[in-house]
Amino acid sequence: MKRWGVYFIIISVVLIILLTAVPLSLAIQKQKPSQPDQPNSGPGGADYQYNGVNVTTYGEGQSQYWIFEPDSKTTQSAPVIVFMHGWGAITPTFYSAWIYHLVKKGNIVIYPRYQQDLATPSDNFTPNSVKAIKEALKVLESGNHIKPQLDKFAIVGHSVGGLLSVNIASVAASNGLPQPLAVFAVEPGKSRSATDPTGPVLENLTNIPPNTLLLTMAGDQDNWVGDHDARMIIRNTLQIPQENKDFVMMITDKYGYPPITADHFFPLASSIVVGNYNLTLLTNAQDFYGTWKLFDGLYNAAFYGQNREYALGNTTQQRLMGFWSDGTKIKELNVTDNP
């Protein structure tokens, strides 16, 4: 698991490259078709209920958590989404654009830190997360925040956070947490094995309620965790009917610029500003038509009975990744319920 010790170093290098390569990238962009903008509406779209986001944080170290809420003086309650980060991403910075998208759509987001640093044992991750979520829900119900709608509860996670998302769903009932109606594990991995003995142990996935809507996702160029755990989670949740779960593969497409690159870091989407550059440039079709769309559709289906076709069923709406600026279709998502 030593490879994860360079998690932040690699991300920092990526950000530096982005900033220094802007002039060159603009020149290249003029010569190649560009990616589509964010849709105006629908799952993954920009039809936001709220303009602002309120952020508070509590605790410290591996017990720290953040709460993100719609900036509203009139909203009395909202659904709750737990966002589980990847290894070492102990602040929400690198997922902030996705988190803000979820909140402006009308949800409360809880972001458990769950690890002190890279040396925190993976056996602590699930219990630390459960504890933080329980404490966050108590804070939300204290009267100084938007009240959580505990009957509308969902979990999304990336990388090791994808493993933790299904772990939390597995132990929710036994730990007094609300039942997660929707779970999205994005590029989950790597769980403990003979070849990787330091990874998190997967809980008994058959304890996830059978009415849960479940998605797992992998990238075809993910050389960090691959697709083993993403497929295994679908195979090992036999209690969930096939029509309520899918394995999705993001496909690399280098036809236009910037290219669609389905590596381990494509779900990162930041809203931070560095100098004169707004790093929301990290959002692209992989967010709008990939992770954001799929999860919007998944929790909408679970909470409201709407937009299921954008998340499940191997439908046109689920697979669609939009179009390059010259009208060429971006390579579609590959979807199966029997990986």
* Helix, strand, coil content of the chain in percent (nearest 5): 35, 20, 45
How many independent structural domains does the chain possess? 1
The residue among 328, 330, 327 whose CA lies nearest residue 319 is 330
Q: Strand, coil or helix: what is 91?
A: coil
Q: What pLDDT was estimated at residue 284?
A: 93
Nearest C-alpha neighbor of 82 from the set 236, 299, 243: 299
| HSE toward the beta carbon, residue 227, CA cutoff 13 A | 18
Q: How confident is residue 276, by pLDDT bands cut at 50, 70 and 90?
A: very low
Residue 288: both structure tokens together: 């709008």
State how far the Cα of 218 lies from the Cα of 133, in Å rounded to an integer.
26
pLDDT digits (tens, 9 = 90+) for 11-24: 554 444 444 444 54
121 Cβ contact partners less than 8 Å away, ≥ 6 residues apart: none
pTM score: 0.90
29: pLDDT confidence band, cut at 50, 70 and 90? low
Q: Return the pLDDT at 194.
A: 76
What's the pLDDT score for residue 325? Answer: 97
Whether the Cβ atoms of residue 251 and residue 233 lie closer than 8 Å to each other = no
> 197 pLDDT band (50/70/90 cuts)?
confident
Q: How confident is the model at residue 89 (pLDDT cuts 50, 70, 90)?
A: very high
The whole-angstrom separation of Cα 198 and Cα 90 is 19
Sign of CA dihedral 200, 252, 7, 128: negative
pLDDT at 282: 74
Write the CA distances from 242 to 26, 201, 212, integer angstroms. 44, 24, 11
Mean pLDDT of the chain: 90
In this predicted model, what pLDDT tens digit does every residue of 64-88 receive, in sequence order?
999 999 999 899 999 999 999 999 9
- Rg of the chain on CA atoms, in Å: 19
Residue 27: the pLDDT is 53
User: Over the stretch 30-67, which tens digit does the pLDDT of each residue have?
Assistant: 589 999 999 999 999 999 999 999 999 999 999 999 99
Q: What is the pLDDT of residues 313-330, one digit of tens each?
A: 999 999 999 999 999 999
Q: Which domain holds residue 237?
A: 2-336
CATH of the domain at 95: 3.40.50.1820
Task: Give the β-pairing of 182-186 and 147-158.
Answer: parallel
